[in-house]
Amino acid sequence: MKLFPLLFCGITFSLAYFSNQDKELAKSIARGKEIYVETCIACHMGKGEGVKNTFPPLAKADYLLNSPTKAIASIKFGLKGKIMVNGVIYEGMMPSPNIGNDEIADVMNYILNSWGNSTKQPMITEKMVEAVKK
């Protein structure tokens, strides 16, 4: 019987924590969509489909989903050279959009939760972006 109050408290805490995290993620995704429209849409297109052999897709992109840290670094520092996305080699240059770590986290959360992308990755935070080094 003493286990019940402990179990009840644990469930209540978990629901409150995850509910709050869901709200924060939703806010981050909304901010990220705005950033995406301002800085990314011209190359990666409106539905993240990219331009075949020119600009890699972000929708259902193995590069992004399998290695979010590399994707964060690509936004944070820009990207040069060859990358393979969904079996297609892209060789070009993506300049850094010169946005803050908080904005990188928001746009990553938007991308990771759009166009059929699904990830087990927790919400990307500013601290996670800050930890990514060149």
Mean pLDDT value across the chain: 87
Q: How buried is 97 (Cβ within 10 angstroms: 0-12 exposed, 13-18 middle, 19+ buried)? A: middle
Token pair listed for 89: 């080699």
Domain definitions of the chain by residue range: 3-131
Given a contact cutoff of 8 angstroms between Cβ atoms, the answer to whether 25 and 113 are in contact is: yes
H helices present in 40-100, as ranges: 41-44, 62-66, 68-77
Tokens 């019987």 belong to residue: 1
Better pLDDT: 18 or 30 = 30
Look at residue 105 in the predicted model and tell me its pLDDT: 98
3-state secondary structure at position 98: coil
Choices 1.10.760.10, 1.20.1250.20, 3.40.50.2000, 3.40.50.620: CATH for 3-131: 1.10.760.10
Q: Read off the pLDDT of residues 79-125 as tens digits, 9 standing for 90 and up.
A: 999 999 999 999 989 999 999 999 999 999 999 999 999 887 789 99
